[in-house]
């Protein structure tokens, strides 16, 4: 649909289009409003889920791909220097936290929902906190300014997944697409085999990496300078505040949305790296991470929703690069739909394998040994 537009026009379109993240955030209060007085109040709590995982994959196929990369010499320095893009990502933080508190109030005060309505509400809020909140947190924790680091940590604390701040940057980006990385899914591995290991590894490896950092400074792991202690304490304060403000239902709501958000993150990890490997060199080291070691998805609509997260190949090649200047590479492995559609597909392992295994095999044609972890032994 946009293939005929010039890169300059696409950059103007996307500058405004990034505000589309407000749609799922505003979908939360709208779905509550529409449920009131409705003959089917419980169904409306699933509205955001339906839009994200049913409507958006269809729209991705209709709207199509984003053909434009910014010019490295003239446009990238200008775009990276514009405070607009940084402020846009930071603005999500108070709005998302406000939505989270609002959701807790609604959950604890609405009596027209049965268990299915309450479940839909938790999953919908968790989807927004995972899709928008953790995506923005991911963008921010890769940046150097303290304000962005703190804002990213705050969003992760709000979903009880502070370990991601440490493990993702110092663990995942170092070991991506190798057997050492639990966030890189293996060829033929189902989502349900991947998730338990990913959860546990994210938590354990974050503590190990932070302990190593402190040890190099001559400090014990259990020290006030261990940032995980502070972020997890903040998560505990969130839980306490929701419990005090909204009772046990508020505490249940907070933990439920956090579980959904974290699960959504790990499913995205599964999608982003499925079956891809960095080659092991003669000296025993792995080749440098490039744009060939992560799945890319260049569908315009979800790229706008997710602040270019789907240009994940370039992100792993250039982790400090800001979202507005991430590039698409034709020679990166390409997903057949945006993340929303691929998440739905991953929930059904036979369908996932039918779609993705041939793509992995085609990508490693002539190097089929890459599909086995035996090559790394």
pLDDT digits (tens, 9 = 90+) for 244-289: 999 999 999 999 999 999 999 999 999 999 999 888 888 888 999 9
| Bigger pLDDT: 300 vs 2 | 300
Which residue is associated with the tokens 């991430």?
A: 326
Under 8 Å between Cβ of 199 and 156: no
Confidence at 8, pLDDT banded by 50, 70, 90: confident
Encoded tokens for 205: 């490896």
Tell me the CA end-to-end span of the chain in Å, nearest whole number. 46
Q: How far is CA 176 from CA 104, 316, 334, 365, 375, in A?
A: 36, 8, 17, 21, 16
Give the C-alpha separation, 1 to 29, whole Å.
32
Encoded tokens for 20: 């589309």
Lowest mean pLDDT among 3-17, 194-208, 259-273: 3-17
pLDDT at 363 over 90: no
Average pLDDT over residues 47-52: 96
pLDDT at 29 over 60: yes
Give the C-alpha separation, 173 to 165, whole Å.
12
Give the C-alpha separation, 345 to 336, whole Å.
11
pLDDT at 199 over 50: yes
**Residue 374 falls inside a structural domain:** no
Q: What is the model's pLDDT at position 342?
A: 97
pLDDT at 132 over 70: yes
**Residue 130 falls inside a structural domain:** yes
**Residue 227 falls inside a structural domain:** yes
Encoded tokens for 47: 């509205």
Q: What is the model's pLDDT at position 3?
A: 67
Give the DSSP per-residue string, 203-250. Answer: HHHHHHHHHHHHHHTT--SSSTT-HHHHHHHHHHHHHHHHHHHHHHHH
Q: What is the model's pLDDT at position 376?
A: 39
**Residue 326 falls inside a structural domain:** yes
Q: What is the model's pLDDT at position 249?
A: 97
Q: What is the model's pLDDT at position 133?
A: 97
241: containing domain:
7-170+223-258+279-343
**Residue 185 falls inside a structural domain:** no
Give the C-alpha separation, 68 to 103, whole Å.
38
Give whichever of 49-58, 71-80, 176-185 has the largest mean pLDDT. 49-58
Residues composing the chain:
377
- Is the pTM above the cut of 0.85? yes
Instruction: Report how many domains make up the chain.
Output: 1
pLDDT at 367 over 80: no
Q: How far is CA 19 from CA 22, 95, 295, 305, 307, in A?
A: 6, 13, 25, 8, 9
Phi, psi dihedral angles at 286 (to 5 degrees): -90, 150
3-state DSSP assignment of residue 260: helix
Confidence at 375, pLDDT banded by 50, 70, 90: very low
Q: What is the model's pLDDT at position 364?
A: 83
What confidence tens digit (pLDDT) does each residue in 311-328 have? 999 999 999 999 999 999
3-state DSSP assignment of residue 318: coil
Instruction: Give the percent of the chain with pLDDT over 90.
Output: 85
Q: Count CB neighbours of 174 within 10 A.
A: 13
Q: What is the model's pLDDT at position 372?
A: 66
**Residue 313 falls inside a structural domain:** yes
pLDDT at 102 over 80: yes
**Residue 271 falls inside a structural domain:** no
**Residue 199 falls inside a structural domain:** no
Q: What is the model's pLDDT at position 377?
A: 34
């Amino acid at each position: 649909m946009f293939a005929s537009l010039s890169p300059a026009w696409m950059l103007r379109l996307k500058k405004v289009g990034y505000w589309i993240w407000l749609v799922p955030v505003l979908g939360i209060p709208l779905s509550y409003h529409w449920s009131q007085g409705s003959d089917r109040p419980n169904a409306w709590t699933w509205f955001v889920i339906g839009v994200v995982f049913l409507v958006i994959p269809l729209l991705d196929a209709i709207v199509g791909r984003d053909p434009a990369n910014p010019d490295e010499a003239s446009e990238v320095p200008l775009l990276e220097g514009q405070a607009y893009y940084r402020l846009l990502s930071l603005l999500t933080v108070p709005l998302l936290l406000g939505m989270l508190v609002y959701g807790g109030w609604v959950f604890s005060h609405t009596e027209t929902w049965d268990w299915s309505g309450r479940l839909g509400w938790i999953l919908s809020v968790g989807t927004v906190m995972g899709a928008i909140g953790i995506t923005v947190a991911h963008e921010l924790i890769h940046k150097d300014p303290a304000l962005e680091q703190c804002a990213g940590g705050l969003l992760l604390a709000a979903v009880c997944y502070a370990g991601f701040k440490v493990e993702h940057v110092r663990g995942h980006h170092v070991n991506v697409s190798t057997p050492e990385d639990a966030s890189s899914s293996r060829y033929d591995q189902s989502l349900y085999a991947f998730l338990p290991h990913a959860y546990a590894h994210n938590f354990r490896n974050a503590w190990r990496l932070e302990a190593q950092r402190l040890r190099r400074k001559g400090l014990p792991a259990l020290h006030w300078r261990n940032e995980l202690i502070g972020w997890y304490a903040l998560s505990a304060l969130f839980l306490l505040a929701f419990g005090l403000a909204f009772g046990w239902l508020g505490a249940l709501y907070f933990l439920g949305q956090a579980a959904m958000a974290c699960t959504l993150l790990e499913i995205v990890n599964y999608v982003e790296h499925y079956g891809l490997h960095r080659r092991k060199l003669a000296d025993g080291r792995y080749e440098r991470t490039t744009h060939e070691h992560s799945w890319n998805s260049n569908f315009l609509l979800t790229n706008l929703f997710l602040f270019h997260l789907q240009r994940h190949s370039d992100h792993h090649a250039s982790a400090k690069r800001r979202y507005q200047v991430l590039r698409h590479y034709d020679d990166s492995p390409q997903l057949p739909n945006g993340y929303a559609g691929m998440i739905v597909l991953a929930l059904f392992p036979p369908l996932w394998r039918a779609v993705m295994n041939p793509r992995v095999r085609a990508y490693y044609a002539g190097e089929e040994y890459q599909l086995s972890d035996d090559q790394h032994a």
